[in-house]
Amino acid sequence: MKNLKFIVFIFAVVTAIPFLQSCQDDDDTPTNLLAIGTINTIQDNKDLYFTLDDGKTMFPSNPQEMGAKEYEDGQRAFIIFNKLDEPVNGYDYNIQVKRIQEILTKEIITIDEDGNTEEKIGDNNINATYMWITQDNKYLTIEFQYYGTHTEDKKHFLNLVINPPDERPTADSENDYINLEFRHNNEDDYPEHLGEGYVSFKLDKIKDQIEGKKGLRIRVNTIYNGIRYYEVKFPSEK
C-alpha cells in the first residue's frame, strides 16, 4: 500500500502538466519535481532517458546514483527529479533522478487468442476515473478504482481487450473511435475496501487503425453504474 499512496499523491500533479514547477526554498535548494513518462533504454538497457507524455525528453545526469536495476524499454513510470540548468544536446531537460516508481505496463490482448478466454480475462466491476493518451499515441494510461482486500496474496488482473476479433473497427467513416474494453479479474478477492491504482497499455497492436480516428472508446463495467463507455481522444498534433 505504500507505493499506492505515493502514486495517489502525485497523480493530480502529473496529469495536469508535464511536470510540477516547484518553487525553490529561501536557500536556493531545489525541491523535487514529479512527472510521468516512458523509460527508453539504450546500450543493452544500461543507459536510459525519459519521454514525457507531451513528447519532450529528459536526460538523467546521475545514472550512478540510480542503482543497478535494469529497466525494460517502454516501461511507464513516475519520476521524481530535480531539473538542472546545464543543457544536454538532443534533450529538452537535464535532470537529477531521485526516484523511479514503475507503473504496470501491458500489451493489448484479444479474447480467444493465446489462451485469453472470457473466464481468464474476467469482467469484474472497476471504475476508470481518468484516462489519457500520450502525445505520440503509443500509450493509454488509466487511473482506476476497485474493491478488494489489497493484500500481497490477492492479486487482481487488468487488461485492455479487443473483443471479439471479427468486430475490430475498420476504416469505416461511420466509426470515429476504436472500440476496446477495460477488463478486471478480481480472482474472487473479497471486496473489503476501495483502492486505487494506475496502469498503462501499449497501443502497438492497434497502431495501424489509429490514422483517421478521433480516439478510443473504452467499455468499462463500473462499480456503481454497470456498463459505461468512455471516449478518450487522441492528442492534437503540435
Tens digit of pLDDT for each residue in 18-71? Answer: 444 443 444 555 679 999 999 999 876 678 999 999 999 999 999 887 776 889
Task: Tell which residue, 131, 137, 121, 128, has the closest CA to residue 203.
Answer: 137
Angle at 19 between CA 102 and CA 4, to 5 degrees: 35
pLDDT value at 11 more than 80: no
Which pLDDT score is estimated for 29?
58
pLDDT value at 174 more than 70: no
What domains lie within the chain, and their CATH numbers?
2-102 (2.40.50.500), 104-233 (2.60.40.2370)
pLDDT in tens, 88-100: 999 999 999 999 9
pLDDT in tens, 180-191: 999 999 999 999
In the predicted model, what is the mean pLDDT of the chain? Answer: 86
More confident residue, 106 or 15: 106
Mean pLDDT, range 114-118, rounded to an integer: 93
Which pLDDT score is estimated for 28?
58
CB 126 within 8 A of CB 184: yes
More confident residue, 165 or 31: 31
Share of the chain above pLDDT 70, in %: 80
CA–CA separation, 6 and 14 (whole Å): 13
Residues 6+ apart with CB under 8 A from 29: none
User: What would the grid cell of residue 234 be?
Assistant: 487522441
Which pLDDT score is estimated for 238?
58
CB 218 within 8 A of CB 201: no
CA–CA separation, 199 and 104 (whole Å): 5
pLDDT value at 4 more than 70: no
Angle at 217 between CA 106 and CA 115, to 5 degrees: 40
| Strand pairing report for 57-60 and 93-102 | parallel
CB 161 within 8 A of CB 108: yes
| Strand pairing report for 47-52 and 33-42 | antiparallel
